[in-house]
């Protein structure tokens, strides 16, 4: 069981470890974590050297000095942090984002939220059994074990993007993860759904939507900006046709954007992505609904069947795509310009 350590003791021991380094090493690491003042960027620190050095060179220097600290930390109370980090990383199938790991350690060791998280990060990074990813603008920093490297992480990400682009829509996470697992099982040892889920936490172009869905951040459905996109968002979330007033209310509830009822109704009317299927009730065209009146729908149903149909069968098919009363459908069957009754209770298109 991992032993506890107080906030005060943690900072105290860390400062002692830091003081065992050369003055230049102390200076750079202190500035990087904001130990005495605000945290400074790699570029800012690089510009303070004479002559100036690149931000990448500062990062390399920082990494080497942190590993030097690792040998000293092994003989201190700070190993509590490293032990807890390895425990958490293992529970997450050997990979976890930096923020999730730090927050979990703070919670489980009962540290104060005000603790300097960069101290924890350096202590973890100093562990030779843990790898910290290199910073990328399109990805979050993560920690992993050496056997889960950049190659494995990139493979999972690329395969996920490939499947989502082919699908062209959000997917159930479990379905997607099993597809990724099946494809990469020969190239990544012990790949599992938990690992895949944690890897996808790393990438900014992947969005986990609600609790079970996942998609690409570039898709409008996951990042709705226009009124049309917001209406699509609500309908896909609710998964059923809706009255335009309900759509307006749900936009306010889900997206905190108050819109006028008439404005959303005008958008639904003019945009062909939406189909009026009943009295002010709208559905998405991609669900299989087609525009047109009830008589248009009846005509299409009869045309597809290409043979006479009973009243009951016609009503059943029309109700799949229109939210209307059965009597409305029956009344439209009496339109002798389009429909003809061939014998009792059977109808076909007029020839």
Span 282-323, pLDDT tens digits: 999 988 888 888 899 999 889 988 899 999 999 999 888 888
Fold of 150-218: Arc Repressor Mutant, subunit A (1.10.10)
Q: Reply yes or no on whether the pLDDT at 167 is more than 60.
A: yes
Q: How does residue 223 score in pLDDT terms, banded at 50, 70 and 90? A: confident
Average pLDDT over residues 72-85: 94
Residue 1 has pLDDT above 60, yes or no: no
Token pair 């050369």 in the structure block, residue = 22
Q: How far is CA 149 from CA 91, 152, 180, 190, 255, in A?
A: 17, 6, 17, 14, 38
Could you tell me which residues come within 8 angstroms of residue 67 by beta carbon, excluding any fewer than 6 positions away? 126, 128
Comparing 221 with 153, which gets the higher pLDDT?
Answer: 153
User: What is the arithmetic mean of pLDDT over 218-223?
Assistant: 82
Give the pLDDT confidence of 231-285 residue by residue, as tens digits.
998 998 888 999 999 999 999 988 888 889 999 999 999 999 999 988 889 999 9
CATH class of 294-349: mainly alpha
The predicted pLDDT at position 3 comes to 62
The pLDDT-based confidence of 2 (bands split at 50, 70, 90) is low
Rounded to the nearest integer, the mean pLDDT of the chain is 90
What are 8-50's pLDDT values in tens digits? 999 999 999 988 888 888 888 888 888 877 888 888 888 888 8
Three-state SS across the chain?
CCCCCCHHHHHHHHHHHHHCCCHHHHHHHHHHHCCCCCCCCHHHHHHCCCCCCCHHHHHHHHHHHHHHHHHHHCCCCCHHHHHHHHHHHHHCCCEEEHHHHHHHHHHHCCCCCCCCHHHHHHHHHCCCCCEECCCECCECCEEECCCCCHHHHHHHHHHHHHHHHHHCCCEEHHHHHHHHHHHHCCCCCCCCHHHHHHHHHHECCEEEECCCEEEECCCHHHCCCCHHHHHHHHHHHHCCCEEHHHHHHHHHHHHCCCCCHHHHHHHHHHCCCEEEEECCEEEEHHHCCCCCCHHHHHHHHHHHHCCCEEHHHHHHHHCCCCECCHHHHHHHCCCCCCEEEEECCEEEECC
Helix axes 193-202, 150-167, angle to 10 degrees: 90
pLDDT value for 97: 97
Q: What is the pLDDT of residue 217?
A: 87
């Amino acid at each position: 069981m991992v032993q506890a350590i107080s906030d005060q003791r943690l900072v105290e021991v860390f400062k002692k470890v830091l003081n065992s380094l050369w003055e230049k090493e102390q200076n750079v690491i202190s500035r990087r974590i904001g130990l005495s003042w605000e945290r400074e960027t790699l570029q800012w620190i690089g510009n303070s050297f004479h002559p100036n050095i690149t931000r990448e060179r500062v990062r390399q220097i920082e990494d080497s000095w942190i590993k030097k600290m690792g040998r000293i930390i092994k003989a201190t109370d700070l190993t509590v942090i490293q032990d807890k980090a390895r425990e958490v990383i293992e529970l997450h199938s050997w990979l976890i984002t930096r923020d999730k790991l730090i927050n979990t350690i703070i919670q489980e060791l009962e540290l104060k939220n005000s603790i300097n998280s960069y101290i924890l990060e350096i202590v973890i990074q100093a562990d030779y059994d843990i790898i910290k990813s290199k910073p990328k603008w399109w990805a979050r920093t993560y920690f992993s074990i050496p056997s889960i490297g950049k190659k494995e992480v990139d493979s999972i990400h690329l395969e996920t993007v490939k499947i989502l682009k082919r699908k062209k829509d959000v997917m159930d996470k479990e379905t997607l993860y099993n597809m990724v697992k099946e494809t990469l099982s020969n190239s990544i040892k012990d790949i599992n759904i938990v690992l895949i889920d944690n890897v996808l936490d790393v990438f900014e172009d992947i969005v986990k939507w609600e609790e079970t869905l996942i998609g690409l951040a570039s898709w409008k459905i996951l990042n709705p900006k226009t009124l049309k996109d917001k209406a699509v968002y609500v309908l896909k979330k609710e998964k059923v046709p809706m009255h335009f007033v309900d759509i307006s209310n749900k936009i306010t509830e889900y997206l905190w954007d108050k819109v006028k009822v008439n404005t959303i109704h005008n958008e639904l009317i003019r945009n062909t992505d939406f189909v009026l299927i009943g009295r002010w009730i709208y559905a998405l065209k991609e669900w299989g609904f087609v525009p047109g009146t009830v008589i248009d729908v009846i005509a299409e149903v009869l045309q597809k069947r290409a043979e006479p149909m009973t009243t009951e069968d016609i009503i059943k098919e029309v109700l799949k795509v229109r939210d209307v009363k059965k009597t409305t459908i029956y009344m439209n069957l009496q339109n002798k310009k389009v429909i003809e009754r061939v014998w009792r209770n059977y109808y076909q298109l007029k020839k």
